[in-house]
Amino acid sequence: MRLRILLLSLVLTLTIIPVQVLATEQEGLVPVIEKVVGSSVDRNWEAIALLYDGQFHDPVEVDEELENIHALVPDLVDLETIGQSYQGRNLTCVRITNELRVTQKAKTLVVAHHHGREQITVELALRFMLHLLNNYGIDDTITEYVDTQEIYIIPTLNPDALEVVVNQGNHWLRKNLHPFDNDGDGNCSEDDVEDVDGDGWISNYYVYLKDNSSDNPPFYDYDWEYWEGIDNDNDTLFNEDEVGLVDLNRNYPIFWSVGGGDLLDPATQVYCGSEPFSEPETKAFRDFALKNRFSMAYSLHSGINATYFPTDEDEYWPENQLYYQMTLDLADILPESFNEYLGYLPSKMSQEAGLSGGWAEWMYYQRGTTVPITLEVYHNGSVDTEEAHVIILNNDTHIIREWEGIYGYFNPVEDKIGTLWNEMLPTFMYLLEMTPRLDVSVTAISGGITAGSSISLSARTECLSPRLGTKENVYILNTSMDVLDTTIAVGGGQSLPIQATIELSEDLTNDGLNILIGNNYSGFTKFVISLGYPSMTIDPVLLGVVIGVSILAIVVVVYIVKTR
């Protein structure tokens, strides 16, 4: 028995002593670093339903929905009034993010409803909010998006027009409600379109000229159009002083008024205003956007199934390769009705000329948003145009067609809103997936701890967006936002090692030095550098020797014990 105890003691000595010898003996404290990762929000709310489901919301109902979701989930939802409409209605922006994580994050944006008659965009924006909140803490992907991004949603930029469209039945109203005296009689908006026959719709009439001299008569040539209504001001004219003035999506500075014509005519549907940002709605959006840096953004519209990227003055995509790749992505995830329209894009490179005064061009050229997409979310492609436009007059010189009720051209019927949302949901998830945010890990740290000394960092930065990178250099900052060091940008889907050096302005203390790694485009990760004891290090070759000696000792003990 004594021999066994002696031999076991020998084994322990042979294994412990070499490890102690290999330990790096360093006296004193050294810099150590820890990544600050905030916790997720504890889910304490039940699934949220819309207060007004299965219908189109008016502005009051939109506000009630926003107040309700903010009250139910205050740790994820923040409301900001960014300005007022022409008639004084609040323009509200919803920010959804994990409020427990205060470090600046990557930002993404959805702005809906530039145009009054496109109220389906309001409905999709509301459902996007609920989808994020109802799946937070349940779905790991959505939880990660909300934890690492600031998701901004403006459900309506044109609430005045929303009121008219939803509650007054004018489903043709496109522009904002800036009053204008179209007929020069000193009064504004006193002779608008209206539902004269009481069928719930305001009809649109297209007038065509017959040309019997053509090779294949009759040839029809579009002449003009008018809407259902009466002569409200008794001037023998009908609907000549309509409600609405400026097309908000023509009121931005880039290419503003380029092309002239209808853009400069207040009576048209695309009037660009007296100057860029002439309207309170676009001014409010400008001031809001100037305070934020968005990499990805959607502007929601309806009336066609299409996906528009910004273009340059030569009608080409400024980010041709990126937009080409994203077009292919979108062709896979958008509803089937979009695919035919998207199919020709790779060879054409752009969908149309640079939009005069458009939101997307301003976001790209003046706000640095790499991918501002104008997403047209709905078009009733099932409508037979000839069948929908019923001939009400056909004589020797003219044909007049009536379009009675627009047949869901801009919006689906109310019981199909949910179906459309489910079809468009993957596109909204794509927005969040593409928004670039960094995953940063520090792999090594060394250096001094006193003022004037330097600390070297080895780190790895991974961009979690497969398409968009950090766009700009990655910075190491202190909490005063002073630049301590700069490293290279990280591309979409890339994982890169970085080396950085920090010079201490004061002695390192136990309270630690807070630093941020990232940039305004992709957000920041917070680290704390503090004092700690050196870690034990072992040379790999000597470690092999230690393991070998230990195994040999054990074998010898076993052999001796068995042979006694």
Give the pLDDT mean for 446-452. Answer: 95
- What's the pLDDT score for residue 396? 85
* Predicted TM-score (pTM) of this structure: 0.85
Q: Is 81 inside any structural domain?
A: no
Helix (H) or strand (E) holding 552, with range, is helix 540-563
Higher pLDDT pick, 81 / 314: 81
Give the pLDDT mean for 338-350. Answer: 45
Q: What range defines the domain where residue 34 resides?
A: 30-40+436-532
- What's the pLDDT score for residue 236? 64
Q: Which of 132-141, 282-291, 330-339, 371-380 has the lowest mean pLDDT?
A: 330-339
The residues pairing with 35 across neighbouring beta strands, listed in sequence order, are 527
Among 434, 453, 471, the domain-final residue is 434
- What's the pLDDT score for residue 15? 47
Give the pLDDT mean for 429-442. Answer: 97
Strand 523-532 relative to strand 513-519, pairing: antiparallel
Q: Which of 17-31, 275-289, 400-414 has the lowest mean pLDDT?
A: 17-31
Where does the pLDDT of residue 3 fall: very low under 50, low under 70, confident under 90, or very high at 90 and above? very low
Q: Are 345 and 327 in contact (CB under 8 A)?
A: yes
Asked if pLDDT for residue 555 goes beyond 90, the answer is: no
- What's the pLDDT score for residue 12? 43
d(CA 500, CA 516): 12
Where does the pLDDT of residue 11 fall: very low under 50, low under 70, confident under 90, or very high at 90 and above? very low
Tokens matching residue 435: 């928004």
User: What percentage of the chain reaches a pLDDT higher than 90?
Assistant: 62
Among 418, 434, 450, the domain-final residue is 434
Cis peptide before 59 (omega within 30 of 0): no
Where does the pLDDT of residue 487 fall: very low under 50, low under 70, confident under 90, or very high at 90 and above? very high
Where does the pLDDT of residue 212 fall: very low under 50, low under 70, confident under 90, or very high at 90 and above? confident
Q: Is 453 inside any structural domain?
A: yes
Tokens matching residue 253: 């500075």
Where does the pLDDT of residue 197 fall: very low under 50, low under 70, confident under 90, or very high at 90 and above? confident
Q: Is 88 inside any structural domain?
A: no
d(CA 299, CA 318): 18
Tokens matching residue 474: 């990655």
Tokens matching residue 316: 């080409």
Q: Which residues contact 232 (CB under 8 A, 6 or more apart)?
A: 190, 191, 192
Task: Tell me: do 505 and 378 sit in the same domain.
Answer: no
The rounded radius of gyration (Å) of the Cα atoms in the chain is 33
Q: DSSP letters along 11-26, please?
A: HHHHHHHHHHHHS---
d(CA 498, CA 519): 15
CA 170 to chain centre: 30
Of 180, 160, 171, the closest CA to residue 267 belongs to 180
Where b means 16+ CB within 10 Å and e means fewer, 507-531 reads ebeeebbbbbbbbbbbbbbbbebbb
Where does the pLDDT of residue 229 fall: very low under 50, low under 70, confident under 90, or very high at 90 and above? confident
Q: Is 50 inside any structural domain?
A: no
Per-residue pLDDT of 61-76, as tens digits, reads 999 999 999 999 999 9
- What's the pLDDT score for residue 548? 62
* Other CB atoms within 10 A of residue 352 CB: 10
Q: CA distances (Å), 322 to each of 137, 218, 317, 327, 491, in order?
A: 33, 48, 9, 9, 12
Per-residue pLDDT of 488-547, as tens digits, reads 999 999 999 999 999 999 999 988 999 999 999 999 999 999 999 886 444 444 445 546
Give the pLDDT mean for 448-473. Answer: 96
* Other CB atoms within 10 A of residue 406 CB: 19
Helix (H) or strand (E) holding 516, with range, is strand 513-519
Higher pLDDT pick, 115 / 180: 115
Task: Tell me: do 447 and 339 sit in the same domain.
Answer: no
- What's the pLDDT score for residue 347? 33
- What's the pLDDT score for residue 405? 64
d(CA 387, CA 82): 44
- What's the pLDDT score for residue 74? 97
CATH code at position 166: 3.40.630
Task: Tell me: do 528 and 382 sit in the same domain.
Answer: no
Task: Tell me: do 252 and 367 sit in the same domain.
Answer: yes
* Residue 444, SS3 per DSSP: strand
- What's the pLDDT score for residue 174? 95
Task: Tell me: do 320 and 419 sit in the same domain.
Answer: yes
| Residue 532: burial class (beta carbons within 10 Å; 0-12, 13-18, 19+) | middle
The dihedral through the CA atoms of 374, 378, 384, 388 has a sign that is negative
Where does the pLDDT of residue 406 fall: very low under 50, low under 70, confident under 90, or very high at 90 and above? low
- What's the pLDDT score for residue 39? 94
Mean pLDDT of the chain: 85
How many independent structural domains does the chain possess? 3
Helix (H) or strand (E) holding 95, with range, is strand 90-96
Helices 417-434 and 120-135 meet at what angle, rounded to 10? 60
Higher pLDDT pick, 160 / 337: 160
Q: CA distances (Å), 254 to each of 272, 283, 315, in order?
A: 12, 14, 13
* Unique residue bearing structure tokens 């909300």: 146
Per-residue pLDDT of 77-114, as tens digits, reads 999 999 999 999 999 999 999 999 999 999 999 999 99
Q: Is 205 inside any structural domain?
A: yes
Task: Tell me: do 196 and 313 sit in the same domain.
Answer: yes
Higher pLDDT pick, 383 / 59: 59
Asked if pLDDT for residue 398 goes beyond 80, the answer is: yes
Q: Is 223 inside any structural domain?
A: yes
Task: Tell me: do 386 and 464 sit in the same domain.
Answer: no
Where does the pLDDT of residue 238 fall: very low under 50, low under 70, confident under 90, or very high at 90 and above? low
- What's the pLDDT score for residue 536? 47
Task: Tell me: do 223 and 316 sit in the same domain.
Answer: yes
Of 216, 205, 219, 215, the closest CA to residue 397 belongs to 219
Question: What ranges in 51-119 are assigned the alpha helix state H?
Answer: 59-72
Among 434, 466, 481, the domain-final residue is 434
Q: Is 59 inside any structural domain?
A: no
CA 382 to chain centre: 30
Q: Are 278 and 86 in contact (CB under 8 A)?
A: no
Q: DSSP letters along 176-232, please?
A: ------TTSSS-SS-B----SS-SSS--EEEEEEEETTSSSSPEEEEEEEEES---T
Q: Is 125 inside any structural domain?
A: no
Give the pLDDT mean for 208-229. Answer: 76
Task: Tell me: do 406 and 474 sit in the same domain.
Answer: no
| Residue 348: burial class (beta carbons within 10 Å; 0-12, 13-18, 19+) | exposed
Asked if pLDDT for residue 8 goes beyond 70, the answer is: no
Task: Tell me: do 521 and 545 sit in the same domain.
Answer: no
- What's the pLDDT score for residue 1? 46
Task: Tell me: do 216 and 189 sit in the same domain.
Answer: yes
Region of 321 please: left (phi>0), alpha (psi -120 to 50) or beta.
alpha
Task: Tell me: do 417 and 508 sit in the same domain.
Answer: no
CATH code at position 452: 2.60.40
Q: Are 491 and 325 in contact (CB under 8 A)?
A: no
Higher pLDDT pick, 271 / 352: 271
